[in-house]
Amino acid sequence: MLGGTGEARSLAAALVERPDTEVVSSLAGRVRNPKLPVGDVRVGGFGGPEGLADWLTAEQVDAVVDATHPFAQRISASAAEAARRSGVPLLMLRRPGWSARPGDDWHWVDDLPAAARLLPTLGERVFLTTGRQGLAEFADCPGWFLVRCVDAPEPPMPTETHLLLDRGPYTVDGERALLTEHRIDVLVTKDSGGALTVAKLDAARDLDLPVVIVRRPPTPDVEQVPTVAEATTWLTRVPRSRH
């Protein structure tokens, strides 16, 4: 299982209880202290799709579940290619994205550069929750930025930045207080979906704040399900001991 998400941890927990199933969760290793799933865990890359295909064959893997983050585009593409090369069945487990509700002021963009270009029209004090790896796209933006991420980012980043190291889950009350304390004008996020970080959207709605949301990248043409239960059902249909 290619993991790193709450869904991946939930699926691993369900599968390790089965006496006939061996689960290996693979994490990219980009977070210094990740929440680890139960069962066997490996950390680090495979060396591209060729390396992953070789590993799947060598380890006699019967099935692969891509339960990575919705914006982990590179590993999902590698998983699809590795599955094709090795002949191992692949399933993508992707939680649904967020949907706007009455009162939301959402502005959809295709990528981080588009979000950076839009910001000056919406506000001067920005709550940026797009992760530490894309901060360079906002380095030349005017204004003041509250940047929240799990691990400390490296420059470049916006000139006026207040860094907040934290991880979800968050509460609506807590997010509302944070937005109010820092006098935030606009929230920027990715369409990650899920319940762990949705509270910021509820708080922004309560405070009538605009939200810039980055659309998800396209996914490979592979079978896809939105829930852990459906992934579990899919795995029961995969033939065992292909090798």
pLDDT, average across residues 182-193: 98
The CATH class for the domain spanning 6-95+218-236 reads alpha beta
* Domain segments of the chain as ranges: 6-95+218-236, 105-214
User: What pTM does this model have?
Assistant: 0.91
Distance between CA atoms of residues 56 and 89, nearest Å: 11
Report which of 94, 98, 35, 88 is spatially closest to residue 61, judged by C-alpha positions.
88
The 3-state DSSP class for residue 145 equals: strand
Does residue 165 have a pLDDT over 80?
Answer: yes
Percent of the chain past pLDDT 90, that is, above it, reads 88
Instruction: Name the CATH code of domain 105-214 (choices 1.25.40, 3.40.50, 3.40.1350, 1.10.10).
Output: 3.40.50
Map tokens 């369900």 to a residue. Answer: 14
Q: Where are the beta strands (DSSP E) in 116-156?
A: 125-129, 144-149
pLDDT in tens, 85-111: 999 999 999 999 999 999 999 999 999
pLDDT in tens, 17-28: 888 889 999 998
pLDDT, average across residues 123-144: 95
Residue 165 DSSP one-character state? E
Does residue 242 have a pLDDT over 70?
Answer: no
Beta carbons within 8 Å of 101's beta carbon, 6+ residues apart:
205
pLDDT, average across residues 77-85: 97
Map tokens 């799933």 to a residue. Answer: 37
**Same CATH fold assignment for domains 6-95+218-236 and 105-214:** yes
